[in-house]
Amino acid sequence: MGPDRFPQRAARVKPGAGGRTRPADRGGPRRPERGRWLAGESAAAGCDYGCVPTLTDLASRHTNLTSADLECLHALVSDWQLLADLSFADLILWAPVRDGGGWVALAQMRPTTGPTSFQDDVVGTMAEPGDGALLDTARDERRIWRESDPDWTTGVPVRAETIPVTREGRVIAVIERNTNLNSARTPSRLELTYLQGADDLARMVAEGTFPFGGEEATLVRSPRVGDGLLRLGRAGRVTYASPNALSAFRRLGLATDLMGAELGPVVAKLCATCAAPLDESLMLVAYGRVPRDAEIEGNGSIVQLRSIPLIVGGSRTGALILVRDVTELRRRERELMTKDATIREIHHRVKNNLQTVAALLRLQARRLRGPEARAALEDAVRRVGSIAIVHETLSHAPDEIVAFDEVADRVVMMASEVAGTEIQVAPKLTGTFGPLPAYVAMPLALVLTELLQNALQHGFAYPEPASGETKRSTGSVEVSAVRGPDRLTVVVVDDGVGLPDDFDPESSSSLGLQIVRTLVVGELGGKLEITPRPEGGTQALVDLPVQEDERPKDQEG
């Protein structure tokens, strides 16, 4: 659905990039001239090629604004799209320059409801002390100052207004609003409602009551004027409903007319017919009493409402309610959530299936007579088991990210269960693996299983001691992990017999180390070193590149 429609105005064309110029013979306060970039402010100032300095940068370099003032201006700027849209006008935020007068443009906003008056950015430009008379007047008289006759220099009538921005009784900045008057001769109801709302808001800015303090930020973008608009009168009755707003309420199941109705009871009734719990904050919004966002659900549609109470000169003039149909947006969000749940369920089932496979292999192994065949099947059981562990972890992890320390704990436990030597070894785990994406966790679990198995199986396979020698009864195996900003290093050491003399890690053709090498070097792009320790025993080192905030990549990777 497009924005609420209104008659299009002719775009205003600026004479060149230098800002508009005014006839020299004009009397009265002069509107600020634009187009002069502050020295060192544009492309030259530490940012390449025309990047626009931020509000904070400009304010701290050129003005005396305090941090509380700035906070207020940030709040204003984060919400002034509303004012620009309702006014069909361009807004420029000017702040007085420290020492010597003049003004600096801190921010600018174009309307989404009409053509802009400024093709070029004006942020960072400056109005000389004499040029900013319109701004000075708004500040000095602390009221909205409206130029009596429109400016025709660009061929289109533009009325400039200046609105003081007040905080705690002080004018801290001035908004220049340039309204294109071209369509003002035959404005529609919608436009009149917009403009009236804009005037109320402008007065609230001047009185220091807009933006509202302490409004909670919403997760979804707040509705815009063009999404749909209701105007409530003083008593909470709808005095205007834009076509989009009407459609949204129709979709919620409203059969009666909105115009003239009190919005609060209408919303309460809608909630009652669809058996939704009556949300208190929704009711506050529907009565237009507090500035807030809420959602109403009914008839399979979800509509977001944002209320902007209008209080001008101390008395309530009503409220604006922005209305946005968010049904599609919410549906997609829910779909994504269900997708995540489905993926986890699948991991759960894969784990179950792998455990079944492992159990079948184990049964088969028991029936075999040849020890070699039996050992081979037992190896397979372990390999399948280690993959099952990762799937199990993924079945209760969001976003395909595995807390690998949990996996490592269980891999170590599994390895020590099947270790079949007479020497007692309880493998130890130190350091942290941290979270790993599934596509790293899967192979790493397998690698760890193989290395541990080798340490336990081969490391302590001592030949029978000659008579008189005492048999070794304990040994140690330690797995340690170090997680750096972009690497993970895992070392498995044992203090056992050490590698055989003819050991060559590169050419070893046995399956275990072949799997390890393929996964570490080939699949994960890491490094593998298996070396004898000087003090006896063996060390296997795996070093992998891992990104800190690594998110799951496409599965085929």
Ligand X SMILES: Nc1ncnc2c1ncn2[C@@H]1O[C@H](COP(=O)(O)OP(=O)(O)O)[C@@H](O)[C@H]1O
Q: Directed axis angle between helix 327-367 and helix 371-394, to 10°?
A: 160
User: Which residue, 42 or 454, has its beta carbon nearer to Mg ion?
Assistant: 454
User: Which residue, 320 or 425, has its beta carbon nearer to Mg ion?
Assistant: 425
User: Which residue, 270 or 411, has its beta carbon nearer to ligand X?
Assistant: 411
Tell me how many residues contact ligand X (CB under 6 A): 17
Biggest alpha carbon–alpha carbon distance for the chain: 120
Nearest Cα to 533, choosing from 505, 500, 501, 493?
493
Task: Give the three-class secondary structure for 126.
Answer: strand
- Minimal distance, residue 399 CB to ligand X, in Å: 33
Rounded to an integer, what distance in angstroms lies between the CA atom of residue 180 and that of residue 282?
Answer: 36
User: Which residue, 180 or 454, has its beta carbon nearer to Mg ion?
Assistant: 454
Phi, psi of 500 (to 5 degrees): -65, 155
User: Binding of ligand X at residue 475 (CB under 6 A)?
Assistant: no
- Minimal distance, residue 446 CB to ligand X, in Å: 12
The contacts of residue 450 (CB under 8 Å, 6+ apart) are 383, 512, 513, 515, 516
Piece in contact with ligand X (CB under 6 A), picked from 42-50, 55-63, 155-163, 492-500: 492-500
- Minimal distance, residue 357 CB to Mg ion, in Å: 20
Query: Left if phi > 0, otherwise alpha if psi is -120 to 50, otherwise beta: which for 488?
Result: beta
- Minimal distance, residue 543 CB to ligand X, in Å: 18
Q: Which does 459 bind (CB under 5 to 8 A by kind): ligand X, Mg ion, none?
A: ligand X
- Minimal distance, residue 444 CB to ligand X, in Å: 16
The CA-atom distances, in angstroms, between 486 and each of 45, 173, 277, 547 are: 34, 47, 49, 5
User: Binding of ligand X at residue 204 (CB under 6 A)?
Assistant: no
Task: Give the three-class secondary structure for 493.
Answer: strand
User: Which residue, 144 or 520, has its beta carbon nearer to Mg ion?
Assistant: 520
Task: Give the three-class secondary structure for 80.
Answer: coil
Amino acid at position 104, single letter: V
User: Binding of ligand X at residue 454 (CB under 6 A)?
Assistant: yes
- Minimal distance, residue 408 CB to ligand X, in Å: 18
Query: Left if phi > 0, otherwise alpha if psi is -120 to 50, otherwise beta: which for 16?
Result: left
User: Which residue, 157 or 512, has its beta carbon nearer to Mg ion?
Assistant: 512
- Minimal distance, residue 506 CB to ligand X, in Å: 12
Given 455, 491, 519, 544, the residue binding ligand X (CB under 6 A): 455
Task: Give the three-class secondary structure for 55.
Answer: helix
User: Which residue, 405 or 478, has its beta carbon nearer to ligand X?
Assistant: 478
Rounded to an integer, what distance in angstroms lies between the CA atom of residue 295 and that of residue 323?
Answer: 10
- Minimal distance, residue 538 CB to ligand X, in Å: 4
Contact 111, 85 (CB under 8 A): yes
- Minimal distance, residue 512 CB to Mg ion, in Å: 3
User: Which residue, 338 or 531, has its beta carbon nearer to ligand X?
Assistant: 531
The contacts of residue 276 (CB under 8 Å, 6+ apart) are 296, 297, 298
User: Binding of ligand X at residue 452 (CB under 6 A)?
Assistant: no
Rounded to an integer, what distance in angstroms lies between the CA atom of residue 109 and that of residue 201?
Answer: 15
The DSSP output letter for 129 is: T
Q: Which does 500 bind (CB under 5 to 8 A by kind): ligand X, Mg ion, none?
A: ligand X
- Minimal distance, residue 418 CB to ligand X, in Å: 13
Q: Directed axis angle between helix 404-418 and helix 371-394, to 10°?
A: 160
Piece in contact with ligand X (CB under 6 A), picked from 174-182, 186-194, 267-275, 499-507: 499-507
- Minimal distance, residue 495 CB to ligand X, in Å: 10
State which residue has the least CB distance to ligand X. Answer: 512
CA 173 from centre of chain: 31
Pairing relation of β-strands 424-425 and 474-475?
parallel
Piece in contact with ligand X (CB under 6 A), picked from 102-110, 174-182, 353-361, 449-457: 449-457
Per-residue x/- mask for ligand X, residues 398 to 437, rule CB under 6 A? ----------------------------------------
Contacts with Mg ion by CB under 5 A lie at 454, 512
User: Binding of ligand X at residue 382 (CB under 6 A)?
Assistant: no
User: Binding of ligand X at residue 318 (CB under 6 A)?
Assistant: no
Piece in contact with ligand X (CB under 6 A), picked from 46-54, 197-205, 297-305, 495-503: 495-503
User: Binding of ligand X at residue 386 (CB under 6 A)?
Assistant: no
User: Which residue, 512 or 545, has its beta carbon nearer to Mg ion?
Assistant: 512
Break the chain down into helix, strand, coil percent, rounded to 5. 35, 25, 40
- Minimal distance, residue 553 CB to Mg ion, in Å: 30
The interface with ligand X within residues 504-543 (CB under 6 A) comprises 508, 510-513, 538
User: Binding of ligand X at residue 186 (CB under 6 A)?
Assistant: no
Q: Which does 223 bind (CB under 5 to 8 A by kind): ligand X, Mg ion, none?
A: none
Beta bridge partners of 146: 161
User: Binding of ligand X at residue 496 (CB under 6 A)?
Assistant: yes
Rounded to an integer, what distance in angstroms lies between the CA atom of residue 16 and that of residue 279?
Answer: 54
User: Binding of ligand X at residue 351 (CB under 6 A)?
Assistant: no
Nearest Cα to 95, choosing from 71, 51, 126, 57?
126
Nearest Cα to 326, choosing from 213, 244, 441?
244
The DSSP output letter for 523 is: I
How many residues does the structure list for the chain?
557
Q: Could you list the residues that contact ligand X (CB under 6 A)?
A: 450, 454-455, 458-459, 494, 496-497, 499-500, 503, 508, 510-513, 538
